[in-house]
Amino acid sequence: MQRKRLRFTLTLILSLILLILAGGYLLASSYSKKGDPVKVSHNWSLMGLRQETIAAPTNLQCITGDNKVDLSWNNPDSKNVKYFFVYRWLQGETPTVVARLSSDITTWSDATAANGVKYFYMVVSVGKHLQTSGVEAQITGTPEAPPPPPPPPVEPEPVYYDDYDYDYYYEEPAPAPAPAPDPPPDDGGCDPPPDDGGGGG
């Protein structure tokens, strides 16, 4: 009885080790040394795994911001997908799992991204039997700091004018002198002297 239990325990441990090694081989062999994805066909029957496939996430998109990258995607099979694994890596590096999300979550924000750095992202579907999707859902994102706000408009300095220099005075022009009356016509003779009030005898 103890031998049967021991044999069952060893078989279970070996199966788990084989499953872990096969998953690591699948992921590692899907990328070149530079970190670029390559097409590799795997013999699932030789690995002792189920020959089941699951659809990869669709419509993977990203929005970059200030020191962050926001990812969003669509669930391709809500009935069979159990998890989503999010991978991140830099050019020339090996992809690393940075998030494991339940199937009802289709967004993730990378708040540790640095501005000016190009990041590679991949989202993989994981099924109920731990089968994984392909590497189709990949995208890159480079967070950037927002541009600085425009400088405030410069208000012109007020100009003060000297009242004395810019005070205008207006004077009515003097009327032209009236023309002198014409002299009476000279008809000859003498004019009588003015009457001074005296009387003659």
Q: How do the pLDDT tens digits run along the chain, 201 residues long?
A: 666 666 667 676 766 666 665 555 555 555 444 555 444 334 433 344 444 578 999 999 999 999 999 999 999 888 889 999 999 999 999 999 999 999 999 999 999 999 999 999 999 999 988 888 888 899 999 999 888 888 888 877 776 665 555 545 555 667 777 777 776 665 555 555 555 555 544
Domain ranges, residue 79: 2-141
Inter-residue contact 76 to 56 (CB < 8 Å): yes
Give domain status of residue 73, yes or no: yes
Other CB atoms within a 10 A radius of the CB of residue 51 amount to 9
Tell me if 104 is assigned to some domain.
yes
In a domain, 12, yes or no: yes
CA 192 to chain CA centroid, Å, is 116
Q: Is residue 156 part of a domain?
A: no
Instruction: Report if residue 168 sits inside a domain.
Output: no
DSSP assignment of 40-71 equals ----HHHHT------PPPEEEEEEEETTEEEE
What is the bridge-based pairing of β-strands 58-65 and 96-102? Answer: unpaired
Number of separate domains in the chain:
1
Closest by CA position to 39, among listed 30, 47, 48: 30
Residue 20, in any domain of the structure: yes
Taking the C-alpha atoms of residue 92 and residue 89, their distance in angstroms, rounded to an integer, is 8
What CATH number does the domain containing 67 carry? 2.60.40.10
Residue 84 lies in a domain: yes
The amino acid occupying position 3 is R
How far from 71 is each of 64, 86, 137, 163, 194, CA to CA, in Å? 9, 10, 11, 68, 127
Q: Is residue 187 part of a domain?
A: no
